[in-house]
Amino acid sequence: MDRSMSRIRDHSLLLVLVIIVFSISPFVSSSRSRTDGVIVKQSDFQALRAIKNELIDFRGILKSWNDSGLGACGGGWLGIKCVNGEVIAIQLPWKGLGGRISEKIGQLRALRKISLHDNVIGGVVPTSLILLPNLRGVYLFNNRLSGSIPPSIGRRSPVLQTLDLSNNQLTGTVSPNLANSARLYRLNLSYNALSGSIPVSLTRSSSLTFLALEHNNLSGFIPDTWGGMVSMNKSYQLQYLTLDHNRLSGKIPASISKLSMLEEINLSDNRINGTIPDELGGLSRLTVLDLSNNLIDGAIPASFSNLSALGTLVLKSNLLDNQIPEDIDRLKNLSMLDLSNNKFVGRIPATIGNISGLASLDLSENNFTGEIPNSLVSLENLTSLDVSYNNLSGIVPSLLSKMFNSSAFVGNLELCGYSPSTQCASPPPQTLPSPVSGVVKPRHRKLSTKDIILIVSGALLVVLLLLCCMLLCCLIRKKANSKAKNGSKASGLATTAGRGAKAVPEVGGTEVESGEAGGKLVHFDGPFVFAADDLLCATAEIMGKSTYGTAYKATLEDGNQVAVKRLREKITKGQKEFEAEVAELGKIRHPNILALRAYYLGPKGEKLLVYDYMPNGSLSSFLHARGPETTIDWPTRMRIAIGITKGICFLHTKENIIHGNLTSSNILLDEQNNPKIADVGLSRLMTTAGNTNVIATAGTLGYRAPELSKIKNASTKTDVYSLGVIILELLTGKSPSEATDGLDLPQWVASIVKEEWTNEVFDVELMRDAPNIGDELLNTLKLALHCVDPTPTARPEAPQVLQKLEEIKPELMLAATSSGDDGTAVQEKSE
Ligand SMILES: *[C@@H]1O[C@H](CO)[C@@H](O)[C@H](O)[C@H]1NC(C)=O
Ligand SMILES: *[C@@H]1O[C@H](CO)[C@@H](O)[C@H](O)[C@H]1NC(C)=O
Ligand SMILES: *[C@@H]1O[C@H](CO)[C@@H](O)[C@H](O)[C@H]1NC(C)=O
Ligand SMILES: *[C@@H]1O[C@H](CO)[C@@H](O)[C@H](O)[C@H]1NC(C)=O
Ligand SMILES: *[C@@H]1O[C@H](CO)[C@@H](O)[C@H](O)[C@H]1NC(C)=O
Ligand SMILES: *[C@@H]1O[C@H](CO)[C@@H](O)[C@H](O)[C@H]1NC(C)=O
Ligand SMILES: *[C@@H]1O[C@H](CO)[C@@H](O)[C@H](O)[C@H]1NC(C)=O
Ligand SMILES: *[C@@H]1O[C@H](CO)[C@@H](O)[C@H](O)[C@H]1NC(C)=O
Ligand SMILES: *[C@@H]1O[C@H](CO)[C@@H](O)[C@H](O)[C@H]1NC(C)=O
Ligand SMILES: *[C@@H]1O[C@H](CO)[C@@H](O)[C@H](O)[C@H]1NC(C)=O
Ligand SMILES: *[C@@H]1O[C@H](CO)[C@@H](O)[C@H](O)[C@H]1NC(C)=O
Ligand SMILES: *[C@@H]1O[C@H](CO)[C@@H](O)[C@H](O)[C@H]1NC(C)=O
């Protein structure tokens, strides 16, 4: 929710770029019409001057709004966007502006968007906004506006889509007129001091998708008119309803259940009473329900077992009673359950142990009886548990008492075994075998078939191991001889891995007597079969070095080639952690991710990772180290961009892995030039210090998101930034490491775009095809600039990037982008 929210909110930034790109694009408008646009309408010019006069420009950012006026619509005036000499957008967020907004703003008749959020603007919301028939978006949140919202706003704004006045000091009531626009999409009046009740008209809006009225002083009942008339066959769009921290009273309206798109309801911290309506169980998309800190009584409705998408259920501090429904485990997606401080009775259902993703369970301060079910032990993701202050009895399952400290269990007089002072009378019977002790314990009973099999296979293993050792010794002796005969151009990996007698100095191998055994090779699924010795004795050439270590191309005895990465020992994790992590990485399989096929742990702690070998090298060399005759056409570049994005999407959404070091050198190409992302998950194998190093290096290469210079934590957003740089690299043919005029690649591109020479940024060889692919280039550029937005929250997530790229892809001549934003951008295009 948070993420999508900020995405929506920060779209204004993207829009600035979109608008700039569109208005100056060589493919869209000629320089002729640009000159026409400079002549600003006289009344608009006057209005802008009045606006400047009433704002306090602490940082001098409105210098460009000078008296000549000629530049107002030519792109010279910061934050102003025009069409045909009329101002259509004022966008000056985060500019430290104070003062107030002039009523003269009503004179800008063509105005569609006003974005002045995150400033320190005081005064009132100008009443003259009602004069603007084209107004679509009003973003004035995070300011110091006071007074009431002019009641007639919305009355004559048929196309108003977004009104965000949140986090100001507004008083007065919420006007029913706000719902007049049939296109109202987001209404955020949260964090003000609004009073009165919630207008019925808002509950009937079929376009409203986000309604945020939290943290106000609203009172009265919540209207029971959601979803409008039953007879009307409309679909209602509301997804987020946040009314928490008000003084609302009365029952939870059952009509909320008509809002079939609802994903999040937060009614916490009000004075709501009565029971929870059974109908809420029909909200199949609901993921968050927070009703905490109210006066709600009765039981959890049986229908709740139908809320299969629910991830968070917070009912704490109410007057709820009765038992937890036994089929609570039908809430398959539940990760947080908080029922604390109510009057629940009965036993804690053992079925809770079936909700495998449960991470946080709070049942404290109720009247639960009986034992803590053993099944809770199987909740592998449970990180927070509180059952304190109930009437529980019996023995705390030993794993739980190890994982959670005694405060989670106190206040249950008959509960024992969770702290030294609450020893149980007789030692607890061990019901579940501890998951780590897989060893067969000596027992005084007859051996079962299973035991016998185990013992026999164990013995066999020992024999096999002995045989292997002998074989290895022979082989190594043989190889050592043949190596001595070989030239010095290619060296055996054994040497680089520190096992040979002649260590290669640049890898800093420690000298070890040759012939020493004791390494460990672990294979993941893949086409190659080789033994540790095959690998160590393979002919190896250094391909490159990075902060993580050195990469080699290794040719095995049988002619097969693999890529081997020798990790720097100093910055890798200890063996146990390393093995656990690398086992996970070995499972990752995706067409755009370089597959990890095996790893080798040497007796001295050397660590080698074995990957598929990619004959066409890295994207970086493909792009920047080719001869002047070789051209790379647009479809190829686009295919590479899409492939990389698919890989990143997969990592982010399916594997929960942040790459953290995405560069064009880390993108390898197979025979068909399909991209494969390398170094996936390596950060998980590294110590914190190691990762800090990597981030620092990425900085010098030009792929590092700006925020990483302060916070050292890579995130999906920093990956998307790097992805954006790579797309820019594909578009411009420029390497991010070659600084241009002291700017990094994103800054350079942005500066050119700003200077209205958009076609200058593209790789010359792409421009030959410009008449055919202009739109695609432009849309891709727009997307890449979105990805490298300096504000992390404004960047899209990888799946959105993928979606956009697929919309742009060469097969389609016209790009149809329309999702996500508040619609302003789309309309810009159609006019
Ligand atoms: C007004 O501002 C524009 C753009 O910043 C600048 O080019 C122009 O010289 C300025 N004119 C005056 C009179 O200051
Ligand atoms: C509403 O505004 C608040 C405060 O500015 C913000 O935290 C919240 O995410 C916004 N919600 C929506 C739905 O826009
Ligand atoms: C909230 O509204 C009530 C009247 O409904 C008023 O008495 C109270 O002062 C208001 N509180 C705040 C913090 O504005
Ligand atoms: C109402 O919706 C149903 C199902 O969504 C549909 O089959 C029916 O045609 C709709 N009726 C009208 C009048 O739109
Ligand atoms: C509901 O709103 C409250 C107050 O704004 C917040 O603390 C809480 O986290 C929200 N609940 C959920 C589940 O997001
Ligand atoms: C709920 O609260 C309202 C007003 O606060 C009161 O009139 C009503 O009787 C209460 N209902 C119940 C069931 O307590
Ligand atoms: C859950 O949904 C199904 C199908 O819509 C319905 O038949 C059933 O009655 C619901 N269960 C409860 C307990 O409401
Ligand atoms: C499960 O819950 C999470 C939030 O807790 C949500 O993002 C996700 O979409 C839900 N999954 C399903 C299948 O609804
Ligand atoms: C749910 O848990 C109960 C008790 O722990 C168990 O008997 C039952 O088999 C489980 N059901 C499923 C579907 O896992
Ligand atoms: C436990 O959490 C991890 C990380 O959030 C997740 O990938 C995994 O699927 C969860 N396990 C279960 C059983 O839900
Ligand atoms: C807990 O339940 C018992 C038996 O139902 C009852 O006597 C007692 O008052 C309850 N205690 C609380 C604090 O609700
Ligand atoms: C606590 O539970 C025991 C039975 O386990 C019962 O005898 C006792 O009355 C309960 N006490 C309270 C205060 O509910």
Ligand with the closest atom to the CA of 296: 6
How confident is the model at residue 36, as a pLDDT? Answer: 43
Which structure tokens are listed for 126? 């100008």
- The rounded Å distance from CA 432 to ligand 9 centre is 16
Q: What is the pLDDT of residues 388-421, one digit of tens each?
A: 999 999 999 989 998 999 999 999 989 998 888 8
Whose Cα sits closest to atom 2 in ligand 9?
351
b/e code 49-82 from CB counts within 10 Å (16+ = b): bebeebbebeeebbeebeeebebbbbbebebbbb
Protein residue closest via CA to atom 2 of ligand 1? 64
Predicted pLDDT of residue 811: 62
Please say if the pLDDT value at position 752 is more than 90. no
Q: What angle do CA 14, 748, 12 make, to 5 degrees?
A: 10
Closest residue (by CA) to atom 13 of ligand 5? 290
pLDDT at residue 7 is higher than 80: no
**Average pLDDT of the segment spanning 332-338:** 96
Sheet holding 561-567, edge to edge: 491-492, 539-545, 549-555, 561-567, 607-612, 596-601, 520-523
Which candidate, 510, 677, 499, 663, places its Cα nearest to that of 585?
A: 677
Provide the mean pLDDT of the chain: 80
pLDDT at residue 576, as a whole number: 87
* Ligand 6 atom closest to Cα of residue 251: 1
Give 480-531 pLDDT, tens digit per residue.
Answer: 444 433 333 334 454 333 333 232 222 222 224 233 356 788 888 777 677 7
More confident residue, 438 or 686: 686
| Tokens (6 digits) for 119 | 């400033």
The pLDDT of residue 216 is: 97
Q: Going by CA atoms, what residue is nearest to atom 13 of ligand 6?
A: 274
Alpha carbons 485 and 475: distance in angstroms, whole number? 16
Whether the CB-CB separation of 145 and 118 falls below 8 Å is answered with no
Euclidean distance between CA atoms 611 and 592, whole angstroms: 13
- Which residues' Cβ are closer than 6 Å to ligand 3? 193, 195, 217, 219
Q: Please give the average per-residue pLDDT across 128-138, as a whole number.
A: 91
166 CA to middle of ligand 2, Å?
A: 7
Q: Decide if 164 contacts 186 (C-beta within 8 A).
A: yes
Q: d(Cα 226, Cα 147) in Å, to the nearest integer?
A: 29
**Mutate which of 369, 371, 392 for ligand 12 pocket (most atoms within 8 A of beta carbon):** 369
Say if residues 516 and 536 touch (Cβ distance below 8 Å): no
Regarding the beta carbon of 713 and ligand 10, being less than 6 Å apart is answered no
Tell me how far the alpha carbon of residue 425 is from its chain's centroid: 50
CB atoms within 10 A of CB 816: 10
Helix (H) or strand (E) holding 697, with range, is helix 688-701
pLDDT bucket at 41, cuts 50 / 70 / 90: confident
Domains and CATH numbers, the chain: 136-422 (3.80.10.10), 503-612 (3.30.200.20), 619-830 (1.10.510.10)
pLDDT value of position 626? 81
Pocket-testing residue among 197, 219, 273, 320, ligand 6, by greatest number of atoms within 8 A of Cβ: 273
Query: Which atom, in ligand 2's list, is nearest to the CA of 141?
Result: 5
pLDDT greater than 60 at residue 825: no
Q: How far apart are CA 165 and CA 150, in angstroms?
A: 12
